[in-house]
Structure 1
Amino acid sequence: MLPSLIWRPLQRILDFMSGSAVGGIVLMGAAGLAMIVANSPLAQAYQQGLEIHLGPLSLLHWVNDGLMAVFFLLVGLEIKREFVDGELGSNPLRILPGLGALGGMVVPAAIYLAFNASHPVSRNGWAIPSATDIAFALGIAVLLGSRVPTSLKAFLAALAIIDDLGAVVIIAVFYTPDLNLGYLAVALGVVGVMIGLNRAGIRMLTPYLLLGLGLWVLVYASGVHATLAGVATALCIPLRDSEGRLPSDGDCSHSPLLQLEHALHRLVPITVLPLFGFANAGISFAGIGAEQWLAPTTLGVGMGLAAGKVIGVFGAATLAIKAGWAQMPRQATLGQLFATAWLCGIGFTMSLFIGMLAFPSHPELQDEVKLGILAGSVLAGAVGAAGFVLAKSKQQPR
């Protein structure tokens, strides 16, 4: 009786804390705390603490390569569910968020390169402003309540999922400098085993998670970023039950994928993401002046997020609607779609992550990336929220 009395309230607390709005606030708080610590007398202890080695890796590497693999596992589960049996389950449903996501990746990258094409090192960060932070963006949408139509929240979530898929591909293709083909071949063999388990009807999570752990070690040793092992594992985990049926609404008891996704949705927003934010968002403002704020990297990231996202997402979505390829989200106005495109300019988790990959040995460029993410995301979030407050809602039909 006692475990039940303790566990049920704990479940309710976890469910509340991992909600879109609260999860985004927790992540924002962790990032803000990191900046405070990095500009306090604790700054040296903060930096030294991140460099402490636990086994073969530093604490910072365990967060970025280890814990973030769990985040990518959740991303992979969401991608598979949405494409098989969700908001992206058919081609008509994929057109509007798909084109919006494509525009929201291409235009920010082009704007970044416009500032950095002549800089041989900093131009490697072209993908940084291409990522939307789903926790922050959806968190603001949830906090705005009924001002954001449900259809636009679904559009924003679907776009962010496709955006994450694009980021995964970009990381695998463009941010893998050295490959060990032997380890990579064994890793592909492990993926083949997991696919075989799926085809054989194995519905227990334990074999997939154990093989996924081994896959993480092999992928890390291969030179491909280890977090991609999380995505590969997720795509192998069965969504259907033992009889090949898709889960019914609200019932995840017979779907291994939904069981794991539900568990990770409770934990990742309040553990993995805040730890990542705290470990990576700390930037000292001592000595930072106009030169750093106006640096090509800072401007490329900031303008890519704040201007590139809204131009790319809104432009591509509007084109699709005007051309008749897709329909305007239900009960939404063009002004509200424009505000949603601004929210897509909030980049944090994936943008920071790509920034660390792009400039592993250039801390000064990493700091400029953080400045750009901070400026661009704050501007995009503020304008997007204001846009929803000022936009007139479409009248419900009577």
Structure 2
Amino acid sequence: MTQARPCKTVLGLLPWPERQAIAEALRTETVGGLVLLAAAVVALVWANSPWSAAYESLRDLRFGVPALGLDLSVGQWTADGLLTVFFLVAGIELKRELVVGELRTPATAALPVVAALCGMAVPAALYVLTATVGGGSLDGWAVPMATDIAFALAVLAVISTHLPAALRAFLLTLAVVDDLAAVLVIAVFFTGDLDFRALAGAFAGLVLFHALQRLRVRGWWWYVPLGIAIWALMYSSGVHATVAGVAMGLILRTTRDPGEDASPGARVSRRVHPFSAGVAVPLFALFAAGVGVSGSALGRVFTDPEPLGVVVGLVAGKILGIFLGTYLAARFTRARLNPDLAWADVLGLATLAGIGFTVALLIGELAFPDPARAEYVKAAVLVGSLTAAALAAVLLRRRNQVYRRLWEEEERDEDADGIPDIHRTGARTGE
């Protein structure tokens, strides 16, 4: 008689080292998300105030180095320059997940990856369906695909929920996979005429970057100038410059050598992540979220097929995609849901993932170069994200007593040794 294989628990207790790493990342993202939320509000108020002309003048102000093809507007510098820092951090987080996190083995990676892929495919499909029925452009199919982890965490902070660490980690993993897919979409579908010499130069820079890592060369004076050169060459090549950020993040080593306090990836993330979350992303939001919210503009969000497709994709698409993807992945891998949670919690998390702010705005600008059409699509991103946030707030607040109890169990440390008691006893280990 063969012994039954033990079931994997979905959204069970995380190992203590993994929980520490995720908590550090999410703490920075939460603070950054609140700053991001404030920046978006300022942008909307400013762009719809009597001083809107000043907002547009500042956003369109150009500066740079024309001789190098880097004469960009303030809005372009935030989208092509500062967001590269955001994608650098995303690349480091993805590398960490692949090496030591939830994505390191096929068994643990299957569920979040399937959920994330379904959470991207279904919104894109619903956009295409909506645009086709309405006779609109299919160019914006990728806009509703991405989840904004910072904005989502800001919503959690505002509504004061105590999500268990496993739910937050699952949300982070979804966002990391989303970011990787977004970069691939940008690189493949939103690349202009290629300058192969510049692209070859960027590739050579990345090879040198990798060699420096392999040789264990330390010192920012090597990597910062090289990183800037790689970014400039990537921008000049016609490939979106943010691809350079992810590539360098994936190259950085995320495992420690003997005698090292932290890996290069961890050191860079610790120094750069606060700037990314607190400065780079909010500044991008400040100059990307300033759209007109007049009655006619909001009306077109629900009547024009392109913006309507974005709203449907972000709200209905994310909910259906992530929830069904998680359920089917658990069903076919014979996993069982953490007995302390319910599928209603997965539904709330899927709804929260419908907040697609930063990357959605970026892809919207790339998909619709015409400023007038881009404005309606940006308005749709805002409407869809706010709708998803409101629905998620209702769903998650209903379960907050359960979350608070689980959170208190996870945080209890009666012997004051710095490690929660639940990790000492091995309860709810996820197996």
The TM tier, using the shorter chain, reads: 0.7 to 0.9
Instruction: Describe how 1:248-327 pairs up with structure 2 within 5 A.
Output: 253-286=261-294, 287-288=296-297, 290-324=299-333, 326-327=335-336
Q: Which amino acid aligns with 1:280?
A: A
Post-superposition offset of 1:230: 1.0
Superposition RMSD in Å = 2.5
Structure 2 Cα separation of the partners of residues 75 and 330 of structure 1: 32
- 2:124 maps to which of 102, 106, 109: 109
Q: State the distance in 2 between where 1:142 and 1:50 align.
A: 30
The answer to whether structure 1 residue 199 and structure 2 residue 214 are counterparts is yes
Q: Distance in 1 between matches of 2:367 and 2:135?
A: 12
Q: Secondary structure at the residue paired with 2:297?
A: coil
Kindly indicate whether the alpha-carbon contact (under 8 Å) linking 2:47 and 2:292 is maintained by their aligned counterparts in 1.
yes
- What do residues 338-397 of structure 1 show as CA deviations (whole Å, max 9, x unaligned)? 11010010010010011111112x112211112211221111111112112223738878
> What is the CA–CA distance in structure 1 between the aligned matches of 2:386 and 2:301, rounded to whole Å?
18
Matched, 1:155 2:163: no
Matched AA of 1:299 = L
1:353 aligns with 2:368: no
- C-alpha spacing 1:92/1:330, structure 2 compared with 1 (3 Å): farther
Cross-structure match for 1:138: 153
Partner of 2:246: 231
SS at match of 1:114: helix
Structure 2 unmatched ranges of 5 or more: 1-23, 65-70, 407-426
Contact 1:104 1:311 in 2 (8 A): yes
Is the 1:148–1:336 contact (alpha carbons within 8 Å) kept by the matching residues of 2?
no
2:3 matched to which residue of 1?
A: none
CA deviations over 1:12-51 (Å, ceiling 9, x no partner)? xxx9997333322211111111111111111111111111
Taking a change above 3 Å as real, the CA distance of residues 325 and 62 of structure 1, as seen in their structure-2 partners, is farther
1:75 counterpart letter in structure 2? A
Q: Distance in 1 between matches of 2:245 and 2:198?
A: 16
The 2-side partners of 1:141 and 1:60 are apart by 29
2 CA distance for matches of 1:371 and 1:85? 39
Q: Give the superposition deviation at 1:119.
A: 7.8
CA contact (8 A) 2:91 2:246 kept: yes
Give the aligned partner of residue 4 of structure 1: none
In percent, how many aligned pairs have the same letter?
39
- 1:258-317 Cα shifts (integer Å, max 9, x gaps): 111011222222111111111010012345252343211111000100000000000010
Within a 5 Å distance, the mapping from 1:49-88 to structure 2 comes to 49-55=58-64, 56-88=71-103
Residue 97 of structure 1 and its aligned partner are, at CA, apart by: 0.9
Residue by residue over 1:164-193, the C-alpha shift from the partner in whole angstroms, topping out at 9 and shown as x without a partner, is 111111111111121111111121111111
- Does 313-322 or 200-209 show the bigger shift? 200-209
Name the counterpart of 1:95.
Answer: 110
Distance in 2, matches of 1:282 and 1:146, equals 29
Out of 177, 180, 189, the position equivalent to 2:192 is 177
Secondary structure, counterpart of 2:262 in structure 1: coil
- Please name the residue that 1:44 is paired with: 53
Aligned mates of 1:17, 1:26 — CA distance in 2: 14
Q: Which of 376, 384, 396 pairs up with 2:392?
A: 384
2:220 aligned with 1:211: no
Separation in structure 2 between the aligned mates of residue 194 and residue 95 of structure 1, nearest angstrom: 31
Instruction: Tell me the distance in 2 between the aligned counterparts of 1:376 and 1:291.
Output: 13
Report the AA paired with residue 224 of structure 1: V
Query: What are the superposed Cα offsets for residues 61-100 of structure 1, whole Å, 9 maximum, x if unpaired?
Result: 1111111111111111111112111232222221111011
User: Residues 126-155 of structure 1: CA distance to partner in whole angstroms, max 9, x if unpaired?
Assistant: 000000001011333355556422211111
Contact 1:293 1:371 in 2 (8 A): no
Aligned to 2:422: none
Quick check: 2:161–2:397 contact (8 Å CA) kept in 1? no
* Structure 1 pair 351–79 and aligned structure 2 pair: CA distance change class (3 A): same
Opposite residue 375 of structure 2, the aligned amino acid is D
* Distance of aligned partners of 1:307 and 1:16 in 2 relative to their CA distance in 1, 3 Å threshold: closer
Name stretches of at least 5 consecutive residues in structure 1 with no aligned partner: 1-14, 248-252
Compared CA separation, residues 258 and 106, structure 1 to 2 (3 A)? same
Which residue pairs with 1:12 in the alignment? none
Deviation at 1:222, TM superposition (A): 0.5
Once structures 1 and 2 are overlaid, which stretch shifts more, 214-223 or 200-209?
200-209
Q: Tell me the TM-score normalized by structure 2.
A: 0.81
Is residue 2:342 matched to residue 1:333?
A: yes
The 3-state SS of whatever aligns with 2:354 is coil
**Helix, strand or coil at the partner of 2:402:** coil
- Contact kept? 2:119, 2:321, Cα under 8 Å: yes
> Matched residues in 2 for 1:292 and 1:20: separation?
29
Conservation of the 8 A alpha-carbon contact between 2:297 and 2:376? no
Classify 1:23/1:338 alpha carbon distance in 2 versus 1 (closer, same or farther; 3 Å): same
CA separation in 1, counterparts of 2:40 and 2:116?
26
**Structure 1 pair 380/335, CA: closer, same or farther in 2 (3 Å)?**
same
Q: Could you tell me how far apart the structure 2 residues matched to 1:308 and 1:159 are? A: 14
In 1, Cα distance between equivalents of 2:30 and 2:229: 34
Q: Which moved more, 1:18-27 or 1:81-90?
A: 18-27
Contact residue 53 and residue 59 of structure 1 kept, 8 A:
yes
- Cα distance between partner residues in 2 of 1:109 and 1:319: 19
Question: What residue identity is the alignment partner of 1:297?
Answer: E
Tell me, in whole angstroms, the C-alpha distance in 1 between the residues paired with 2:221 and 2:255.
Answer: 16
Match of 1:369 in 2: 377
